[in-house]
Structure 1
Amino acid sequence: MTVIRIEHVLALATAAALTTGCSSLGEELDRERDPARTATPEPAAPEPSSPADQTLPTIAPTAPSTPATTCPESGVRIAPGPVQGAMGLRAMTVTLTNCGTGTHELNGYPSVRVLDEDRDPYDIEVLKGTDAIHMAGTAPDPAPVTLKPGESARSGLTWRMMSPDTSTTYLEITPATGERPQTMETLDGPLDLTDTGQLGTSPWQKSD
């Protein structure tokens, strides 16, 4: 009877494992660790894409800017600013810009009318100065203003707030005596001054 020693069997098994390659040995070890194959294999790392496969983000084109408002025949353009308010006191700046080709002279206060949604005037007392408006302080004295093309001047409107339920309001502003008035809608909606009935104005001053 031929006797096979256990040392010879182990040596043969080891040689067979080596001849089948490292991958077979790895698989055999995996089977020993996880006979039921319950482990989930790790996904392979994605290969880096080539520069040609990379898509750059799309940038939306910038919308064209809104063109400036056309210049009236008078050569000046008037625009109201936003309403500032605190403790019932309201203030607004009106800006006049020389959009013509020659100089424009101002001296004194603008003429202002407050209009409703139908462009009919409210019964508002427009004052030269702001002393009568509580907490408004004193407006500067009038002084001559010369505007070159592109330059601006400003005037302040001040009032006390009483009624928040006012119809849509427009302002009609005449820069100086003998000049043509311009009508514009207020930026912040209705002016809440119809119950107080007074509007203070400051004289034109050259803008910085």
Structure 2
Amino acid sequence: MRQNPSPRGLLTGRRRAAAAATAAALLLTGCASAATTASGRSPDASGTPGSCGTPPPTVPGAPQPAGLAQGGARITSIGPLCAEYEMTNPNGEPYDVTVVFGVPAMVGGGLENQSRSVIALAPGATERGRLVYPGATVRSGTRPQPRIVTARSVPTAEAPDTGGPCPSSGLRLYADEGSAAMGLRAVGVHLRNCGTATVTLEGYPQVQPLDAGHKPLDGVRVLRGGAEIASGTGADDPPRKIALGPGEGARSVLVWRNTTEAGTPRNAPYVRVRATPDAAPVMVTPELDLGTTGRLGAGAWVREETNDTASARPAP
């Protein structure tokens, strides 16, 4: 089974904990300017634009290659030891943004990933930062080629979260890292009742695949259950009504195949999920690579043991 790449867990409930960890690591490496920040706060003064090197070469009148610009993110300067970037929110509401950059690795001459996140980037705002290459200086006479691997964003109002204050809905919803093998993919969607009232789940979550522009993806059939995709994925349990009490959790599974035959492959980086028809939407980032199958199976909600559930029960 293959562990999914880091963008699959974009700004999930771990995003604030990850932000703190990233900031601490960057402080230790002298690169605090690239840490996760909130909208409206500029990075450390050491990240002054242009101080790392020169703007990347471009063709006049042509758009920047995807490796240099993607999803509102752009590499603005490249030097022998570091590069600089900016992330802009073109939307009309705050967005949580995560960009994965590939930078020259310490050994092997390849690239290694560095991730940068911004929480609640205001509409029209731009966040700038610096990427410091790990290890020693780049060989003389070579020009480093950092690139943007992925750029993902979700509306802050729809961002998944497993920590901090309980949402007004009383429910936390997030996706896990998932797994994949032989073209079969599976991602778990987890729900936890952090409120004080019992919530009734009616069989299946509502699932809407979205393209890179956050628009509904045409030509995708969302199936109830995973039987048409594969067996044994955890999406095969029959639907049932679940009364989810405070501290209790439930789980659904999204399952699909990355089978490519005749036709145009369909990719849906994002999925908008509603736990119940009247629940507030949450946007997760399972990175659906649906191939040409155009099918996504969504399993019924099943009760899931959680730490909150265990701690809420009396000791035997």
TM-score tier (shorter): 0.5 to 0.7
Deviations 1:3-54 (A, max 9, x none): xxxxxxxxxxxxxxxxxxxxxxxxxxxxxxxxxxxxxxxxxxxxxxxxxxxx
TM-score after normalising by structure 1 = 0.60
Higher relative contact order at CA 8 Å, sep ≥6: structure 1 or structure 2? 1
Match of residue 85 from structure 1: 180
Match of residue 147 from structure 1: 244
Deviations 1:174-195 (A, max 9, x none): 1122222211233xxx221152
Structure 1 residues 69 and 126: CA distance shift in structure 2, 3 A: farther
| Residues 6-85 of structure 1 aligned to structure 2 (within 5 Å) | 68-85=163-180
Match of residue 103 from structure 1: 198
The 2-side partners of 1:119 and 1:72 are apart by 23
Residue-pair matches, total: 139
Structure 1 residues 194 and 71: CA distance shift in structure 2, 3 A: farther
Farther off after superposition, 112-121 or 167-176: 167-176
The 1-side partners of 2:188 and 2:206 are apart by 14
Q: Which has the higher strand share?
A: 2
Structure 1 residues 88 and 194: CA distance shift in structure 2, 3 A: closer
Q: Which has the larger radius of gyration?
A: 1
Aligned-pair identity (%):
38
The 1-side partners of 2:165 and 2:180 are apart by 31
2:280 to 180, 187, 191: 180
Asked if the contact 1:156/1:201 (under 8 Å) is kept, the reply is yes
Asked if the contact 1:142/1:203 (under 8 Å) is kept, the reply is yes
List runs of 5+ in structure 1 lacking aligned partners: 1-62
The 1-side partners of 2:300 and 2:277 are apart by 13
Match of residue 192 from structure 1: 289
TM-score after normalising by structure 2 = 0.40
Deviations 1:102-123 (A, max 9, x none): 1111121011011122211112
1:131 to 227, 239, 245: 227
Structure 1 residues 126 and 69: CA distance shift in structure 2, 3 A: farther
Deviations 1:148-187 (A, max 9, x none): 2221100011100136x8767111001122222211233x
1:202 aligns with 2:202: no
Structure 1 residues 183 and 145: CA distance shift in structure 2, 3 A: same
